[in-house]
Amino acid sequence: MVDFEKEFSNPGFNVAVDERTAVASVFKSVYGWMCAGLAISGGIAWYTFTSGLWQRIFEGGIFMGLLIAELVLVMVLSAAIRKISAGVALLMFLAYAALNGLTLSVVFIAYKLALVQRVFFITAAMFGGLAVWGSVTRSDLSSVGSVCGMALWGLIVASIANLFFGGSRLDWICSFAGILIFSGLTMYDAQKIRALVSSGHALDERELRKVAVVGALELYLDFINLFLHILRFFGRRR
């Protein structure tokens, strides 16, 4: 994940923007681009499933290549965010969302459509509440972010172990843990976006657009992972 504070908290930016206006503008862009990313991923996932393209992806060994490409895109965006323009960063985010749509087509293969739709709306309602609370609360959620970040590594290890040694109980535990972890990260990331804009560092419009793009990517990832873990928790795979 991109470190907002490291990448953008440079006091060298000296074009001041009214705090309330900046916060409102950034969050409007964040949620706008996040929803655009989700729409692209969902549309491509549905097309991949209904067209039968998923068979070529999963049977031809392309799936692993797509996962690697997604990881590389996120790493490049994180490393180059200070050097590239907001427009390039946005194109990279949308490209990531498109690639992710190809891999997310597995959701329609593994679960019934009615369940996918129901879980999506549950996730949207849950995510919305968490993100709003995270952006308005006066409580410092830094400790929540740190704990969830460390727990995420444990979840990754447990999920890999579950592929080889696990059963239904371990799968249920991993799913429940994932819901808690990404709920915490959603609140933390929303607060982090607001704190960055309100921190007293005067960001210019160019940097604010970058913050919006990276914020959209962070919350997009939180939403997708929250959705997948809720789906695993409530769903029974085919």
Residue 219 banded pLDDT, cuts 50, 70, 90: very high
3-state secondary structure of 124: helix
Give the rounded percent of residues in the chain with a pLDDT score beyond 90. 47
Q: What is the pLDDT of residue 1?
A: 54
Average pLDDT, the chain: 84
H/E element, 163: helix 142-165
Cα dihedral angle (58, 159, 220, 129), rounded to 10 degrees?
Answer: 140
pTM of the shown model: 0.85
Whether 44 contacts 98, CB under 8 Å? yes
